Amino acid sequence: MPLQTISKVNLIGAGWSDFKQLTKVGLSLSVIFSSVAGYLLAAPIINYQTLLLLSVGGYCVVGASNAFNQIIEKEPDKIMKRTKNRPIPTGRMSVNVAMVIAVFLALVGILMLFSINPKTALFGAISVFLYTSAYTPLKPITPLSVFVGAIPGAIPFMLGWVAATGQFGIEAGMLFMIQFFWQFPHFWAIGWLQFDEYKKAGFNMMPTGEKNKKASRLIIIYTIFMILISIVPVFRVTGNLYLLPISAILIFALGIVMLYYGVRLHKEQTDITARKLMLSSVLYITLIQIIFVIDKFLH
């Protein structure tokens, strides 16, 4: 292979790698997973064109939010081990290039979501706005940023329902609440693990400002709220969204696993337990979305 061709291949590979880091491909794909789950829950018949628009548009919207976030946090990102090798802090990508990518993705994503229906586009736009203009600027100011960030973070699951129905009702609201309350134990576990790194960068993600029993007590409380809200549909009070008893039992059991690690963290106050809580929270949100979708097809 000629040297010039090899250089082009390497350049393309490097550019793609930086794009994936800028848009946080792992996080973006998890958001798509939630949106698709919400769509499958609501759609009477699967429209694959809508599903494609939701997936690609959703990736663009989340990718834009992540890109804007990294532009704003370019200086703190240089300090933390977890982020110092990102494209902007290392200088592999300029802020101007990142801004062009972010704006392009935001516009394309919102247009794709609008082609599904206006409400889907509206919630996509709200997500970008809150993540970029509220959550990110608040991170160095107050731990309450987690509460603000939980709003755009809770949109994906219900976004799929809105994409399928064109409506925001009690069903979409319930999906929003499940993912909203889930984020507190999840992100506080991450905040516990990254406490020193965040502190160096000027961020404080813990609800009490410290890794202490007050913080772990709040983790337990919000985990209990999350469990209770997640099984509300079994009582058939949430419109067209409901669960069979066996599904509710499975979801409750998964929640108890999270609660177990929350209680252990309260007792032990260790990073090892915080990591187990964080991993169990990822397992929880993934599996309950699968359970909800399978349950729908069992009715």
Q: Compute the distance between CA of residue 237 and CA of residue 228 in angstroms, rounded to an integer.
A: 14
Long-range contacts of 138-146 (CB under 8 A, 24+ apart): 139/73, 139/203, 139/205, 140/76, 140/202, 140/203, 142/204, 143/204, 143/205, 143/206, 143/207, 143/208, 143/209, 145/205, 146/183, 146/184, 146/187, 146/188, 146/191, 146/205, 146/207
The pTM (predicted TM-score) of the whole model is 0.91
Taking only the tens place, the pLDDT of each residue in 64-76 is 999 999 999 999 9
| pLDDT average, residue stretch 40-66 | 96
Distance CA 222, CA 213 (A): 14
pLDDT of amino acid 2: 53
pLDDT over threshold 60, residue 155: yes
What is the average pLDDT across 193-206? 90
CATH number belonging to the domain at 13-168, selected among 1.10.357.140, 2.60.120.260, 2.60.40.10, 3.40.50.2300:
1.10.357.140
Is the confidence at residue 58, as pLDDT, over 80? yes
Residue 247's nearest CA partner among 47, 41, 46 is 41
- 9-18, pLDDT tens digit by residue? 344 545 889 9
Q: What is the pLDDT of residues 120-150, one digit of tens each?
A: 999 999 999 999 999 999 999 998 899 999 9
Judged against a pLDDT cut of 50, whether residue 213 lies above it is answered with yes
Specify the pLDDT at position 109: 97
Q: Measured on CA atoms in the order 200, 25, 287, 156, is the torsion positive or negative?
A: positive
Give tens-digit pLDDT for 250-293: 999 999 999 999 999 999 999 999 999 999 999 999 999 999 99
pLDDT score of 5 more than 60: no
Name the residue ranges covered by the structural domains of the chain. Answer: 13-168, 170-299
Q: Would you give the distance in Å from CA 166 to the centre of its chain?
A: 22
d(CA 163, CA 168): 10
Q: Average pLDDT of 79-108?
A: 94
Percent of the chain whose pLDDT exceeds 70: 95
